Amino acid sequence: MATNVNIYVPNQGEKEALRAILKTKALVMFLYKNAVIGEGATLFESLTEWPADGGRAYARKELSIDLVEDAVAAAKWFLTTNSLGRAEGQYNNAVLSWAFNAVDVADGASVCGVGAFSWMLPFDGGAIEIKVGDKIKGATSGATGIVTGVCVTSGAWGAGTAAGVLDIMTKTGTFQDGENITIVGAIATVDVGAAPGTGYAVGDIFGITQAGAAGAKLVVAIIGGGGAVTGVVVVNGGHDFTVANALPTMKLTGGGDNALTINISTLAATVYAVTNTAGTADAHKRLMAIWPFSTPLAIASDGQAATWDMKMALATGT
């Protein structure tokens, strides 16, 4: 005979659960203008978002996924246990604010609440593992996003059958269903630059420094006299790199002198997976939270603002 069992999650467990949410689900904050009382069946489509563009000042606000635990800081989540013993994240060292202009006022609407969603991109046909921090691109649409979480629900990368969901942030453009997913600016091939450095050993790992790019890791494969590097292998192509010569490097392991330079010869056009948005346009919006106002805020004057002190708390109970 089956029985229900209540499970108690202690405060530290709550903090780790909240940390996982805030690090993988980059929240996009928005205002909505229809009266909705939030409950389990509420979807993003249930809410009428405040109109944007067309000369309006209103725009969504995407929050960072950076966390601190010592003090409230600008553009970061402060993760703590509040006075009620609940795990709590407070965002930013000032309230979030949306300022409205005359075009917004002309809409004749009221702000009925604040909402938060995150972007998720379903995929299948995964043949090369996509990692947190990768900047993905739709090969057909050109849409991009930075991966904050990867959830494989079936299949395997090695078999070319991985399927699941990518959590993304800083999305640009509109993804299409069934398009190939590539990595933006991933390094494919390199050559040792004019400076081979000294003191390196086979197996040393190093990164490449280029403005706006990150994530590349290379391994020393061949050395000459004095530990001068003569051959390297790309382990991780990183993202947002461009073809260039004489790029500086920084050692991650080993005893090299950091004088090694690298020429990026080509960038990869490898297909990692395929979007699977069930025939709908674009990545999906996952509604994470809504905060209905007890009294709607009528937007009646140019320069008027709506503010929100962004805090999220977790609590367990029976």
- 256 near 200, Cβ under 8 Å? yes
* Interior angle at CA 130, CA 125 and CA 133, nearest 5: 150
Task: Report, as ranges of residue numbers, the positions in the chain whose pLDDT lies below 50.
Answer: 1, 317-318
Terminal C-alpha separation, the chain:
21
Dihedral pair phi/psi, residue 281, rounded to 5°: -80, 140
The pLDDT of residue 317: 47
**pLDDT (tens digit per residue) in 43-92:** 788 899 999 999 999 999 999 999 999 999 999 999 998 888 888 999 99
Nearest to 44 by CA among 22, 21, 27: 27
Residue type, 270: T
Residue identified by tokens 């950076």 is 66
Q: Dihedral of CA 69/71/76/79: which sign?
A: positive
The pLDDT of residue 7: 59
Give the C-alpha separation, 95 to 119, whole Å: 23
- 153 near 123, Cβ under 8 Å? no
Residue 40's contacts (CB-CB under 8 Å, 6 or more residues apart) are: none
The pLDDT of residue 316: 56
Nearest to 107 by CA among 38, 165, 180, 34: 34
The pLDDT of residue 10: 62
**pLDDT (tens digit per residue) in 127-158:** 999 999 899 999 999 999 999 999 999 999 99
Starting at the edge strand that comes first in sequence, how are the strands of the sheet with 67-68 ordered? Answer: 67-68, 77-81, 87-91, 311-314
Domain ranges within the chain, ordered by starting residue? 11-117+286-314, 119-185+271-275, 187-267
pTM equals 0.84
The pLDDT of residue 190: 97
